[in-house]
Each structure stands twice: as structure tokens, then as C-alpha cells.
Amino acid sequence: MAGAACLSDALIPLLQKSSQPRIVFVSSAVGSLTQTLDPSSSHYGANAPAYKASKAAMNMLMATYARTLKEDKWRVNSCTPQLSATAFSKGVGRDPCIGAVIACQLATGEVEGTGGFWDKEGKIAW
């Protein structure tokens, strides 16, 4: 999360030159406080507290940038690609290309708004 903050701070001066500046943070639904506390959620029983906390922190980082940059017409959001078949998940999950769609939509302006946490279905509670 600190790396995402440092990189964002370094890139903001460059991104400010855009007529439609955007930042998209890749997070995870396991960082959702709402889903962590909801017994009907698939993330309710998930352990890995440090990972979950880091993703919750990523969402707070996004919210802070969204609030700070809102006056300058920035769009700052976070998204979850959901479980993707990568080395991190040991090949479990879906094709990473599917998970990348929401990040691309947020980055290109296909999804409007700022300060949201998104998955392929739409805005989700964090």
C-alpha cells in the first residue's frame, strides 16, 4: 500500500496535465469491511488478516486521494479483479484478462464517478 501511495504521489504532477486525470487502485473484495462482517458473504470466513488489512488500507488510500483531488475533476477509484489464476493464487481462479476489464473501464472513463470500489458487477460496499 505504501508503494501505491509513493507511486501515485510521483505520478500526480504528470497526470495533472491530462484533461481527464484518473487513478485506479487494484484492491480486493477481501478488504471490504462490509463483506468481512457479513455472514452471507463468501469472504466472511476468509482468514489472512494482514492481506485483508492491506486491501482495506488500499481502499482508504483511494478514498483519501478521491476526496483530495475531487475539486480538480480527477476520477480516483479502486477495483477488485476477483480471484484470478496467477502465481499468487497457484493457478486457482479465472482468466486474469477477465479481472482486468473493470480496471481498464475505470482507467478509460467507461465507468464514471470517483471514490468507488468496483468489480465487474458494479460498485460494491467497502
In a domain, 13, yes or no: no
Query: Which CATH number goes with the domain that contains 78?
Result: 3.40.50.720
| pLDDT number for residue 89 | 65
Q: Which domain holds residue 51?
A: 20-123
In a domain, 109, yes or no: yes
Q: How far are the Cα atoms of 62, 102, 103, 113, 121 from residue 35, in angstroms, in the given order?
A: 18, 19, 21, 22, 15
Closest CA to 26 of 119, 113, 88: 119
Dig out the grid coordinates for 17 from the structure.
Answer: 496535465
Domain count, the chain: 1
Q: pLDDT: is 47 or 93 the higher one?
A: 47
Q: What is the pLDDT of residues 3-28, one digit of tens each?
A: 999 999 999 999 999 999 999 999 98
pTM (two decimals): 0.86
Q: How many CA atoms lie within 13 A of 33 on its CB side?
A: 6
In a domain, 46, yes or no: yes
Q: How far apart are CA 29 and CA 19, in angstroms?
A: 30
